[in-house]
């Protein structure tokens, strides 16, 4: 077995609700914040969100809604 165990994506996403995450968009922009909710279309709601580009914070938001078709990946921060 490898050091990484296979995880069901929906279980992983439900387990990290309320946690700090990084959402990378297909255009290269990253959003960091606390994951509030996610649905079956990968639509994401973050609070205390920050928009980052090239490793620097570009904007500071309260709540953001990210449409799922723009999401490349979601990871724990």
Is residue 1's pLDDT more than 50?
A: no
pTM listed for this prediction: 0.86
Q: What is the rounded CA–CA span in Å between residue 7 and residue 69?
A: 22
How many independent structural domains does the chain possess? 1
Is residue 73's pLDDT more than 90?
A: yes
The CATH code of the domain that includes 47 is: 2.30.30.100
Of 15 and 33, which is predicted with more confidence?
A: 33
For 25, the domain range is 3-76
Closest CA to 41 of 65, 22, 18, 69: 69
């Amino acid at each position: 077995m490898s050091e990484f165990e296979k995880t069901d994506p929906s279980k992983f996403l439900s387990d990290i609700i309320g946690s700090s995450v990084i959402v990378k968009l297909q255009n290269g922009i990253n959003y960091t914040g606390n994951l509030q909710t996610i649905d079956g279309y990968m639509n994401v709601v973050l609070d205390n969100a920050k928009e980052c580009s090239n490793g620097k914070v570009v904007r500071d938001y309260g709540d953001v809604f990210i449409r799922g078709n723009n999401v490349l990946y979601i990871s724990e921060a």
